Amino acid sequence: MTIETSDYGSLKGGTKAKLFTLSNSNGLCAKISNYGGIITELHVPDRAGILADIALGKDSLDDYIDGHPYFGCITGRVAGRISGANFKLDGASYSLINNDGPNCLHGGQVGYDKVLWNASVIDCDGIKKLLLSFSDLDGNNGFPGRIDCTVTYALLADNSLEITYNAVTTKSTPFNITNHSYFNLCGAGNGDILGHQIQIFASSVASTDANGTLLGRFDEVVDGYNDFRKPVTLSERELDAGNADIHYCLDAGRSQCIQQAAHVYEPQSGRQMDVYTTQPGVQFYAGLVLDDSGKNGIHYKKNWGFALETQDYADSVNYPQMGGAMLHPGNAFQSKTLYKFSARY
């Protein structure tokens, strides 16, 4: 595995961003910027061995800075929605910015997707990895406590993209970090994802209201609607927020050992993606309101990409019985996610 570094443009004020190209011996390639930890490209082979970039995104750093629907980025301090953009913790009340209807989404106005992470290339047991680090200060976006966080990317010999998260805090705080990549196994920009087969190993979903506000309960999946325990071709379902923009509670739960969360297969190319995680849940999103300019001048439309964001119950601070998306002093956070790619012949 190799990692090459190149310039990726400048932020306002002149600070320069970098782009890191991760490659493995099988020809796979991932390009990742330290701006937002964004996976800008991800090239994987089809059944004929032909590589295609399957990650939706933008053409340049300036395009990302101008705004985007969280293409490929690290999301935090809290990925997902905190209901009412407020919470009480340790006797204090905290008000956040409601940047998604009445709720606070993906950490607020300036989440982890919009910051320049410190970057270094490390060697871990002979494997080159990209290590990103960031200190999220006490009071940022209204949250208590300073969080020192690292995110490590590696492209492994078995064609897995490995993402490892670590964090510590000075005060108890909500914390729910993930990666928000949109995928299309036909290739980014090559039409919709409705021919993809999706399997999610979950028997329940987190219920929400019309605003996407979490209600503090899990409901059993419904056959023919949001039950993906067996592979389902997306075109066979009428996709809406109740089955294609919702948090699935994985049957495996939280584990120190990595467990399979989902399987995706695209018959035309033969590409497959298996998602493994130590996290207890995964947010499945099928690009229901996707309408944005993308790479190579292509305009992405509804259902042109999907995301499988491994995480905990986002609103755990308001519903502690539902999940553990909290970080406390003295308790280090650790999690790992693998996106493993192969082809069916």
Handedness of CA 107, 110, 112, 114 (dihedral sign): positive
**Which residue is associated with the tokens 């570094």?**
5
Burial of 21 (0-12, 13-18, 19+ CB in 10 A): middle
DSSP reduced 3-state for 142: helix
CB half-sphere exposure, 38, CA atoms < 13 A: 29
Burial of 317 (0-12, 13-18, 19+ CB in 10 A): buried
DSSP reduced 3-state for 85: helix
* Amino acid at site 239: L
- Tell me the C-alpha distance between 175 and 76, whole Å: 7
Q: Does 220 qualify as catalytic in the annotation?
A: no
Catalytic residue among 180, 196, 247, 263: 180
- Tell me the C-alpha distance between 155 and 153, whole Å: 7
- Tell me the C-alpha distance between 153 and 228, whole Å: 28
Which tokens belong to 284?
């499945």
b/e burial code for range 164-186 (CB count within 10 A of at least 16 → b): bbbbbbebbbbbbbbbbbbbbbb
Q: Does 238 qualify as catalytic in the annotation?
A: no
- Measure the CA dihedral 63/22/264/52, to 10°: 70
DSSP reduced 3-state for 274: strand
**Which residue is associated with the tokens 């919009």?**
114
Integer CA distances (angstroms), 139 to 16, 82, 146, 249, in order: 26, 16, 8, 30
Number of Cβ within 10 Å of residue 25's Cβ equals 9
Number of Cβ within 10 Å of residue 225's Cβ equals 13
Which tokens belong to 102?
């009445």
- Residues that are catalytic: 180, 309
